[in-house]
Amino acid sequence: MLPTIMNYIINPLALIIPILLAVALLTLLERKIIAYMQLRKGPNIVGPYGLLQPIADGLKLFVKEPILPSTSSQILFILSPMLALTLALTLWAPLPLPSPAADLNLNILFILALSSLTVYSLLGSGWASNSKYALIGALRAVAQTISYEVTLGLLLLCIIILSGGFNLETFNVTQENMWLILPSWPLAAMWYVSTLAETNRSPFDLTEGESELVSGFNVEYAGGPFALFFLAEYANILLMNTLSVILFLGSSNTLFSPELMTTNLMTKTALLSILFLWVRASYPRFRYDQLMHLTWKSFLPLTLAMVIWHLALPIALTGLPPQL
Amino acid sequence: MNLIIAFMLMTTLIPMALMLISFTLPMMTPDYEKLSPYECGFDPLGSARLPFSIRFFLLAILFLLFDLVIALLLPLPWSSQLPLANHTFFLASTILILLTLGLIYEWQQGGLEWAE
């Protein structure tokens, strides 16, 4: 009885609740860091150094009246934010930190498949809102997301061939000698930019570009449902960064102190997330056709060549990874 | 019931609980203006169920084809371990070269132009 409760209830909660806490503090971190980069201080009134700001924001969002537009498709309108947050949280289950909450053998495949489902929440929210702005914003967001998913999948395939399997724990073994970013730094660079685009993050945040589309696909959302979209977006950012660290900047699991590996991993995740924020503070937004040009005409041909390269060279130089 | 299903159940219950809180906790006073669709303060001009541009459809089809090719290439980490790895390499290269030819054709015909 106790193992069941532990495994099925407390373990997931022990992963989900710190993630939600981390997401809340990431919103504060973003505001503070962008502020300091703009030579001003971020929120520092609400608590010491503004630490209670996320709680205040959360309270505000859940106490505000949510709007169910009379002309919207109500069920889809309500289900889309729920789907977004569900997926953002579920994707954390198979990540080895160093031991995952749900140990799947085909970790990366699961993550890739589920992250493709977030497109549904974007599309559903845009279409169900029954507002022209929301629809256009949603279409653009979906087009952007699916375009970058192609390069994401092919890049993953390259490093999976180098590493030997779809299991993320083999990546820890692969990187025992050196980080995978060293042999495959072009892949790592393209992967990082693609994760920036996947999470609709600056400079690819066209769909939320306030000056253009007044908040895009979530224009009709207010209060609680908007909070869910917001949480989902930031949870996706943390997830993508954790995945980048596991894939490219891995740390090996020392048997007697797995906490050391977790600390190592999460420190690198925090640094990569700060880089996301740094990029947001530094670069102007991409124009939509520039965004599409980048993925279909710049990244994709290079990625296709990279797949052939990563397939040919290990075979030719007998450097194939061991088969598990 | 295995662990990943239990995890998904938990991650479904939490957003459901949050949605319930957000729809029951606040004071709801809906009025006509609040419930109408947003169009910068004006009354909406025309229906919102627009026909959308054909470029998005083309993009979706392109994504579909590329994703299918990725699905075809997914067995590569196992198939590259076969005793005759040449075969794997030539087959995978054939698939990728055909895909690249398709991409070149699309690019040259302008399908990726204002793919916006």
Compute the distance between CA of residue A229 and CA of residue A23 in angstroms, rounded to an integer.
12
Average pLDDT over residues A259-265: 89
Nearest by CB: A289 against B39, B56, B114: B114
Average pLDDT over residues A273-298: 89
Compute the distance between CA of residue B26 and CA of residue A91 in angstroms, rounded to an integer.
31
Average pLDDT over residues A130-148: 83
Q: Picking from A190-204, A213-227, A277-291, B41-55, which range would have the lowest pLDDT averaged per residue?
A: B41-55
Contact B116 A289 (CB under 8 A): yes
Compute the distance between CA of residue A143 and CA of residue A303 in angstroms, rounded to an integer.
19
Q: At how many degrees (to 10) do helices A107-116 and A132-163 cross?
A: 170
Average pLDDT over residues A18-32: 94
- For residue A126, give how far its alpha carbon lies from the nearest alpha carbon of chain B (Å): 11
pLDDT on residue A290: 87
- Examine the pLDDT at A312 and tell me if it is beyond 60: yes
Contact B26 A135 (CB under 8 A): no
Please list, in sequence order, all residues whose beta carbon lies within 8 angstroms of the beta carbon of residue A165, skipping any fewer than 6 positions away: A321, A323, A324, B77
Identity of residue B54:
I
Q: Say if A146 is an interface residue toward chain B (CB within 8 Å).
A: yes
Which helix (H) or strand (E) segment holds residue A269: the answer is helix A258-282
Per-residue exposure over A145-174, b if at least 16 CB sit within 10 Å of its own CB, e if not: bbbbbbbbbbbbbbbbbbbbbbbbbbbbbb
Best of A21, A77, A79, A90 to substitute, by most chain B Cβ atoms within 10 angstroms, is: A90
pLDDT on residue B116: 59
Q: Give which of A175, A303, A106 is closest to B78, Cα–Cα.
A: A106
Mean pLDDT for chain A?
87
Compute the distance between CA of residue A36 and CA of residue A310 in angstroms, rounded to an integer.
42
- Examine the pLDDT at B39 and tell me if it is beyond 80: no
**Which of chain A's residues have a Cβ under 8 Å away from the Cβ of B40?**
214
- Examine the pLDDT at A174 and tell me if it is beyond 90: no
Average pLDDT over residues B27-48: 66
- Examine the pLDDT at A240 and tell me if it is beyond 80: yes
Mean pLDDT for chain B?
84
Compute the distance between CA of residue B80 and CA of residue B76 in angstroms, rounded to an integer.
6
- Examine the pLDDT at A176 and tell me if it is beyond 80: yes
- Examine the pLDDT at A269 and tell me if it is beyond 90: yes
Q: What is the pLDDT of residues A6-18, one digit of tens each?
A: 778 888 999 999 9
Q: What is the topology classification, in CATH, of domain B53-115? A: Methane Monooxygenase Hydroxylase; Chain G, domain 1 (1.20.58)
Written as six digits, the tokens of B89 are 């390499």
Contact B22 A223 (CB under 8 A): yes
Q: Say if A227 is an interface residue toward chain B (CB within 8 Å).
A: yes
> What is the value of ipTM here, to two decimals?
0.87
pLDDT on residue A304: 93
Compute the distance between CA of residue A45 and CA of residue A53 in angstroms, rounded to an integer.
8
- Examine the pLDDT at A324 and tell me if it is beyond 70: no
- Examine the pLDDT at A186 and tell me if it is beyond 90: yes
pLDDT on residue A1: 76
Nearest by CB: A139 against B37, B56, B70: B56
Contact A311 B38 (CB under 8 A): no
- Please give the residue that has the higher pLDDT: either A243 or B39: A243
- For residue B111, give how far its alpha carbon lies from the nearest alpha carbon of chain A (Å): 11
- For residue B53, give how far its alpha carbon lies from the nearest alpha carbon of chain A (Å): 10
**Closest residue on chain B to A69 (Cα):** B35
> How does residue A172 score in pLDDT terms, banded at 50, 70 and 90?
confident
Q: Say if A65 is an interface residue toward chain B (CB within 8 Å).
A: yes
pLDDT on residue A247: 92
pLDDT on residue B41: 59
pLDDT on residue A148: 92
Q: Say if A221 is an interface residue toward chain B (CB within 8 Å).
A: no
Q: Say if A114 is an interface residue toward chain B (CB within 8 Å).
A: no
- Examine the pLDDT at A251 and tell me if it is beyond 70: yes
